[in-house]
Amino acid sequence: MAAMGRSNRAARSPEPALTTGSDGRRHAQGPLTRPVGSGLAELRPDRDRPHAWTLLIDGAPQSLVDLADPTHLGFEYQRRLGHLIDLVAPPGRPLTVLHLGGGALTLARYVAATRPRSRQQVAEIDTELTELVRAELPLERGWQIKVRGADARSVLERTPEGSVDLVITDVFSGARTPAHCTTVEFTTLAARALAPGGWYAANIADGGALPFARSQVATLGAVFPELCLTADPAVLRGKRFGNLVLAAAHTPLPIADLTRRVASDSSHGRVEHGRALTDFTAGATPATDATAAPSPAPPPGVFR
């Protein structure tokens, strides 16, 4: 999820917070704050997991990293993306993954830990954020994770055809997904990058009647024949603003396996597909480069 604003960016100064212990891992001395390109970044230690840190941008939680256990996914939308990572290929098989949006590199760490020898590229436009994450939450040696400081779409445009098993889009500018990363043209580029049998996954955010989410399902449906959506039932009913994870492919998705995993998760979720997803879309129009708008801004107080 993305930040809401930049109100305190200039008012707070960096605080030395993390030290390296005898075990070689980072230990908390208190939160660390530092201005980066996208706002005020904060690394906040987790009270329940001694080697875990939450990244916030301007007070909005972005991701959680556990340096002692990179397979731990603390946020529900990341666990749902983790289910897709688990199911896209047989367990343990290395993947080639393109992450559009990096944050604290939580999902890239998860792939590296669960699928050794995977090759991953991350597009993260905020190079100052990447420098902070690399310095304070370092990647393990041997992980093949390359981070490019560039716009997600520009990286996608340069990705060779048929070269990746999985494209994961989690792109936010401030609190909103930029319009140019929400269109049929963008999705077509993602489909072009996929190897045979590859999948496309996207994290988006919406609320109320979910017009943005409905349009995004229609957008993916204009490119891919197989689709599903996973979200909290309260979000699907318009009761609260939140995350929705979309998955798309040219071959059938493992809906039954995904549904079982989502149902067993600590955060209750629902998988929509087939006729139910068609009904959900309700005639929404696909977004194009000529018509797209950014995703809606979260309502005030949603991150508090």
- CATH number assigned to the domain comprising residue 77: 3.40.50.150
pLDDT at 173 over 90: no
pLDDT score, position 29? 60
**Average pLDDT score over the chain:** 90
In a domain, residue 289? The reply is no
Query: What residues pair up with 39 in beta bridges, in sequence order?
Result: 36
- Residue 250, classified by CB atoms within 10 Å of its CB into exposed (0-12), middle (13-18) or buried (19+), is middle
pLDDT in tens, 151-165: 999 999 999 999 999
Give CA separation, 62 vs 20, 53, 183, in Å.
Answer: 23, 11, 23
Q: Is residue 1 one of the residues assigned to a domain?
A: no
Question: Domain range spanning residue 85?
Answer: 70-281
Q: Is the residue at 169 inside a domain?
A: yes
Report the Cα 249 to chain-centroid distance in Å.
Answer: 18
What are 222-251's pLDDT values in tens digits?
A: 999 999 999 999 999 999 999 999 999 999
CA distance 268 to 275: 22
Please enumerate in sequence order all residues whose Cβ is within 8 A of that of 279, keeping only pairs 6 or more positions apart, or say none: none
In a domain, 165, yes or no: yes
Express each pLDDT in 51-109 by its tens digit.
Answer: 999 999 988 888 999 999 999 999 999 999 999 999 999 999 999 999 999 999 999 99
Judge whether 52 and 46 are in contact, CB under 8 Å: yes
The structure's pTM equals: 0.90
Specify if 286 maps to a domain.
no
Residues 6+ apart with CB under 8 A from 43: 17, 18, 31, 32, 33, 53, 54, 55, 132, 136, 137
Spatial separation of the C-alpha atoms in residues 262 and 281, rounded to whole Å: 21
Q: How many domains does the chain have?
A: 1
Per the CB < 8 A criterion, the answer to whether 241 and 205 are in contact is yes
Residue holding tokens 């002692």?
68
